[in-house]
Amino acid sequence: MRSVNAIRTKPRPRPAARLNGYASRMLYLASRSPRRLELLRQIGVEPGLLDVVVPEQRLPGEEPNDYVSRVAREKAGAGLLKVMSNPHALVLGADTEVVLDDRVFGKPDDEDGAADMLAALAGRAHRVVSVVWLLSAGRELRAQSVSEVRFAALDAAAIEAYVATGEWRGKAGGYAIQGRAAAFVESLSGSYSGVMGLPLFETAGLLRAFGMEPGIGKRE
């Protein structure tokens, strides 16, 4: 399912982005996630980086998709505030969460939390909701990807072995589909990159809507 709708002192953000192999002064990624940077580079985009921290706490009664969208928008907004001196700045913010029934699985705090999440996901299908916002000083656009992932049944030994790898750290739902947890996935319907943390089809659409063509197929 896809839809697109129209202080501490820290190091200064890196000012340049690259699209199609040419320098662009506009695009920034408001994220500390190395996976999102890796995914943008996969489509030929090298953004400036902004280190932002926003609360990731679901509000009472807040629908899971609304929660993910709000956090992604707050990340982009926090990033935009850092580069307001550049009137041409574009800031991309994203958030991805695992949802089982009405429960949102964020990043586990410890090994026990990761094991509990994996045990709950084992043998069932869950949703992965990924929302991207692209903001400028006068315009903002949103894209959403919802994927369904079905895990195989997992016994306690398999869960314990996976948790011991440490791969669960910093991952929504306590797993990385691009890592060893790929062996748990019986089926995936939707966006593989969205499950990783940034749906590339939707993100490329947002960039094009702002007149920026990703460097797919380009050689520098």
Residue numbers annotated as active site: 95
Contacting residues for 152 by C-beta, under 8 A, at least 6 apart:
122, 123, 184, 185, 186
Strand pairing report for 103-105 and 90-100? antiparallel
* Helix-helix angle 34-42:200-209, to 10 degrees: 70
Cα separation, 83 vs 42, whole angstroms? 25
- Written as six digits, the tokens of 105 are 């699985």
3-state secondary structure of 151: strand
